Amino acid sequence: MADFSVTPWEASGVIDYDKLIAQFGTKKISPLLKERISRAAGELHPMLARDYFFSHRDMDLIVDSHEKKEGFFLYTGRGPSGQMHIGHLVPLAFTKWLQDKFKCNLYIQITDDEKFLVKQGMQWEDTQKYSHENILDIIAVGFDPKRTFIFKDSEYVRNIYPLMLAIAKKTTLSTAKAVFGFTDSTNIGLSFYPSYQIVPTFFEKKRCLIPSAIDQDPYWRIQRDIAQSLGYFKTAAMHSKFLPPLSGMEGKMSSSVAQGAIWLTDDAKEVKSKINKYAFSGGKSSIEEHRKLGGNPEIDVSYQWMKIFFEPDNKKLQALHDEYKSGKLLSGEMKAALTERINSFLQAHREKREEARETIKEFTHEGALATQMWEKHF
């Protein structure tokens, strides 16, 4: 038995990402592939350079499509089960980079249906409130309104239901049980839901690229089994690791453990107090010992967050690493540096979120981007 587990809904234990590649049947992002992406994009995003995005399916074919000028489109999503935390922003920030570099269309799915079905005690009204709140946070990431369409499942379903049925008809219950671990006590809504998460990969007759954390990959496995028989491409995907929770390098930052997460709605005081109280430290128990023996950046959550998201400058990151390891930089100083970064990031985010109230319609309007490819099948 593995001592960790990753499903689309939960992650626990210290995750061995190489083992996950073998388990899920994906591929490691190789130095050669990074070089190709860098050439195509004109630069390499730090999350790629630092192997935070570490695994893929068919990313080489996406680069081929780009080189042949056939283009591709992007698809990602969010399940509105509550306010968003910083972990949710990480794949979105990377998606924005891809859209900026490759100028492609992007579809963002808001799965109000999924979260209603999966969460015990979740009221429909709550999923609707959080859908709206989450869409504002997503827009604040800075996507191009001319190339982005954000849709909520319960609203958009009328446009895609026939295509969803075509996918459902090709997917047996035993496949869904094997891929998602559904049992006889899983509600029947949830066994149908995966067909909806697959639909957007068919929104254009081009290759689709999905950036997300690796937990969403099981859906793409089913998509890749049936896509060609429905006349579409197998989807490509790029998978990230998880932003760890404040409490340490186990599991993922998750909505269900409030103390482990920094919410996008946390104010400067809350951020400071959470980091000081909860951020797991790789430092020694006394200043004297720390100065003498140094800290361990590999398990220090504040350093890891800097590496993943908050310190894009390689030289500055290296300095944090080396000074921490040598004992020159104390845990409290690492925490203070991170707190400062998060708070300036969140302040800018909040301002952009307010502006999003004015522009939301540009992203959610069923306009030019909403394709109706399914009509071809019926």
Helix (H) or strand (E) holding 128: helix 124-139
Asked if 197 interacts with ligand TYM (CB under 6 A), we say yes
Asked if 79 interacts with ligand TYM (CB under 6 A), we say yes
Nearer to ligand TYM, 23 or 318 (CB): 23
Question: Collapsing DSSP states into helix, strand and coil, what is residue 236?
Answer: strand
Near ligand TYM in 108-147, by CB under 6 A: 109, 111, 114
Nearer to ligand TYM, 164 or 329 (CB): 164
**Minimum distance from CB of 310 to ligand TYM (Å)?**
14
Among 26, 171, 195, 216, binds ligand TYM (CB under 6 A): 216
Nearest Cα residue to 215 out of 184, 247, 180:
180
Nearer to ligand TYM, 166 or 330 (CB): 166
Residue 207 DSSP class: E
Among 36, 45, 66, 78, binds ligand TYM (CB under 6 A): 78
Nearer to ligand TYM, 212 or 294 (CB): 212
Among 37, 66, 77, 342, binds ligand TYM (CB under 6 A): 77
Asked if 300 interacts with ligand TYM (CB under 6 A), we say no
Instruction: Please state the φ and ψ torsions of residue 319, each to the nearest 5 degrees.
Output: -65, -45
Give Cα separations from 82 to 85, 135, 240, 251 (angstroms).
9, 12, 22, 19
- Separation of alpha carbons 363 and 369, rounded Å: 10
Nearest Cα residue to 98 out of 150, 48, 149:
48
**Minimum distance from CB of 252 to ligand TYM (Å)?**
4
**Minimum distance from CB of 256 to ligand TYM (Å)?**
11
Nearer to ligand TYM, 99 or 240 (CB): 240
- Separation of alpha carbons 265 and 88, rounded Å: 13
- Tokens 């992002």 belong to which residue? 29
- Cβ-contact 99, 144 below 8 angstroms: yes
**Minimum distance from CB of 193 to ligand TYM (Å)?**
9
Q: Which residues pair with 211 in a beta bridge?
A: 238
* Bridging pattern class, strands 72-78 and 207-213: parallel
Supply 225's token pair.
């089994």
Among 243, 329, 337, 342, binds ligand TYM (CB under 6 A): 243
Burial class (CB in 10 A: 0-12, 13-18, 19+), 228: exposed
Give the interface size with ligand TYM as a residue count (CB under 6 A): 24
Name the one range near ligand TYM by CB under 6 A: 61-69, 71-79, 338-346, 360-368. Answer: 71-79
- Separation of alpha carbons 33 and 29, rounded Å: 6
- Separation of alpha carbons 132 and 135, rounded Å: 5
235 Ramachandran zone, left/alpha/beta (phi>0; psi -120 to 50): beta
Asked if 57 interacts with ligand TYM (CB under 6 A), we say no
Nearest Cα residue to 64 out of 33, 106, 91, 105:
33
Asked if 242 interacts with ligand TYM (CB under 6 A), we say yes
Asked if 105 interacts with ligand TYM (CB under 6 A), we say no
Among 88, 272, 274, 325, binds ligand TYM (CB under 6 A): 88
Near ligand TYM in 356-375, by CB under 6 A: none
Name the one range near ligand TYM by CB under 6 A: 34-42, 76-84, 142-150, 289-297. Answer: 76-84
Asked if 46 interacts with ligand TYM (CB under 6 A), we say no
Near ligand TYM in 316-335, by CB under 6 A: none
Asked if 213 interacts with ligand TYM (CB under 6 A), we say yes
Question: Collapsing DSSP states into helix, strand and coil, what is residue 76?
Answer: strand
Supply 256's token pair.
């269900």
Binding site for ligand TYM (CB under 6 A): 8, 75-79, 87-88, 90-91, 109, 111, 114, 197, 210, 212-213, 215-216, 240, 242-243, 252-253
